[in-house]
């Protein structure tokens, strides 16, 4: 291991992305993500990469998709209001299968909201922000080191599945400074999209062989001329109004993620082996949750932490596997109950699901979590 360095979450996102091969960044300033643009502007030219400050977030994501079509690993970063502006082209990336990483450092909304305060109110937007049924992968880090390593995974998944990957940070992690020991470059896996089309009669840009889900992607300007569109298209990449072809296309796009859930989903389970209560949380909220769990354990209570790292698709199988041992669940998130809906769907009333959330831009302290756990215990004793 290398010696520890002091690093900010937003900075770690850039450093990790560069290690992953990001060589193009287009963005627009917005709190609390701006340091990602600043750091990219500074660092990218040092590694032969390119930074451009665009006129708005609509342009930023469009430029990222253009650069990715030209063969570069590309990224943009924003926060709530800018993330809303990016939604249309996130759908385009899903439809045209252009790999990209979009960082959303969440802040308190709605609208301009509390620009410098933490929140996790974009959980649903990250999944459903763009119109139409579409695949998406969303990852959420809870520390500076994890920001660094997980954003590498974000690029790997984007390249592997040719789909947009949302890197869902929050102000807590984005502005956090921690000492981190960065892993050696040799210990990291870096993926790249398949770049050459299938030969012969099937030399079509969106041809996918039986049993596979992801077509190869040749950068523009490298010999084979082809067409990209956001319209429903056939394997040759041209628009079609044929409903059977359109249905197969959208089905395959969704299958890319749905049939590879085991490969995509990651979850951190802490002290869950004998846990009777699970505290479920993600991103920056996990820091308070972890303190609360440690304190509860010290007091001899069987509490564990279940933290989705892949927040979309939700680690459904993993949570289901824990249900038989659980007596209750406490969902903690900095919103009015968004991941809660997903948890309730999976739990289906099997155990009580309590909720602790915040919408005022303040941070949930561990004491509030402990209090909530005690409330549940008191209820259980009373029964």
Least distance to another protein, CB of residue 67, Å: 4
- Applying CB under 8 A, which of residues 13, 30, 64, 105 lies at the interface with another protein? 64
216 burial type by CB count under 10 A (0-12 exposed, 13-18 middle, 19+ buried): middle
Take residue 312 and report the two structure tokens written for it: 């979309």
CA distance 279 to 319: 11
Least distance to another protein, CB of residue 44, Å: 9
- Applying CB under 8 A, which of residues 202, 227, 258, 263 lies at the interface with another protein? 227
Q: Which of 275, 281, 267 is nearest to 368 (CA)?
A: 281
Least distance to another protein, CB of residue 257, Å: 22
Asked whether position 81 contacts another protein by CB under 8 A, the answer is no
Asked whether position 185 contacts another protein by CB under 8 A, the answer is no
Strand partners, 310: 139
Least distance to another protein, CB of residue 58, Å: 6
Asked whether position 131 contacts another protein by CB under 8 A, the answer is no
- Applying CB under 8 A, which of residues 37, 65, 126, 144 lies at the interface with another protein? 65
Could you tell me if 253 and 200 are in contact, meaning their C-beta atoms sit under 8 angstroms apart? Answer: no
Of the CA atoms within 13 Å of residue 207, those in its CB half-sphere come to: 15
Least distance to another protein, CB of residue 92, Å: 5
- Applying CB under 8 A, which of residues 1, 2, 3, 48 lies at the interface with another protein? 48
Span interacting with another protein, options 88-96, 182-190, 289-297, 306-314, rule CB under 8 A: 88-96
Could you tell me if 311 and 339 are in contact, meaning their C-beta atoms sit under 8 angstroms apart? Answer: yes
For every residue of 22-90, DSSP letters joined together read EEEEEE---TTTHHHHHHHHHHGGGGT-EEEE-SSHHHHHHHHHHHHHTT-EEEEEE-HHHHHHHHHHH
Neighbouring C-beta atoms of residue 188, cutoff 10 Å: 16
- Applying CB under 8 A, which of residues 112, 222, 263, 380 lies at the interface with another protein? 222
Span interacting with another protein, options 59-67, 159-167, 334-342, 354-362, rule CB under 8 A: 59-67
Asked whether position 196 contacts another protein by CB under 8 A, the answer is no
Asked whether position 24 contacts another protein by CB under 8 A, the answer is yes
Binding site for another protein (CB under 8 A): 24, 26, 45-46, 48, 50, 52, 54-56, 58-60, 62-72, 74, 88-89, 92, 96, 219-223, 225-231, 238-239
């Amino acid at each position: 291991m290398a010696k520890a360095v002091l690093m900010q979450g937003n900075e770690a996102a850039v450093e990790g992305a560069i290690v992953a091969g990001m060589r193009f960044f287009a963005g627009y300033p917005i709190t609390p993500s701006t340091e990602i643009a600043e750091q990219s502007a500074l660092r990218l030219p040092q590694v032969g990469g390119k930074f451009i400050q665009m006129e708005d977030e609509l342009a930023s994501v469009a430029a990222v998709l253009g650069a990715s079509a030209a063969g570069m690993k590309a990224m943009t970063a924003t926060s709530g209001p800018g993330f809303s502006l990016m939604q249309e082209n996130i759908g385009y990336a899903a439809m045209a299968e252009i790999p990209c990483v979009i960082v959303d450092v969440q802040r308190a909304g709605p609208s301009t909201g509390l620009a410098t305060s933490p929140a996790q109110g974009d959980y649903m937007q990250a999944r459903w922000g763009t119109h139409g049924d579409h695949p998406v992968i969303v990852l959420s880090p809870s520390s500076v080191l994890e920001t660094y390593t997980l954003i590498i995974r974000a690029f790997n998944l984007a390249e592997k599945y040719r789909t947009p990957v949302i890197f869902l940070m929050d102000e807590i992690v984005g502005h956090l400074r921690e000492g981190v020991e960065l892993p050696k470059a040799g210990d990291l896996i870096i993926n790249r999209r398949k770049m050459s089309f299938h030969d012969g009669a099937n030399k079509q840009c969106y041809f996918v062989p039986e049993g596979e889900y992801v077509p190869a992607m040749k950068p523009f300007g490298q010999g084979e001329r082809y067409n990209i569109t956001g319209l429903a298209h056939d394997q040759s990449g041209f628009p079609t109004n044929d409903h059977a072809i359109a249905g197969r296309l959208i089905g395959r796009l969704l299958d890319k993620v749905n049939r590879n859930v085991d490969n995509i989903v990651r979850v951190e389970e802490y002290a869950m082996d004998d846990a009777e209560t699970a505290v479920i949380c993600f991103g920056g909220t996990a820091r308070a949750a972890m303190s609360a769990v440690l304190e509860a354990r010290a007091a001899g209570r069987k509490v564990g932490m279940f933290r989705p790292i892949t927040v979309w698709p939700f680690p459904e199988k993993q949570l289901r596997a824990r249900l038989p041992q659980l007596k209750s669940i406490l969902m903690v998130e900095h919103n009015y109950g968004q991941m809660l809906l997903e948890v309730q769907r999976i739990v289906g009333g099997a155990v009580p699901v309590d909720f602790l959330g915040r919408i005022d831009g303040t941070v949930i302290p561990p004491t509030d979590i402990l209090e909530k756990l005690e409330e549940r215990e008191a209820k259980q004793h009373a029964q």
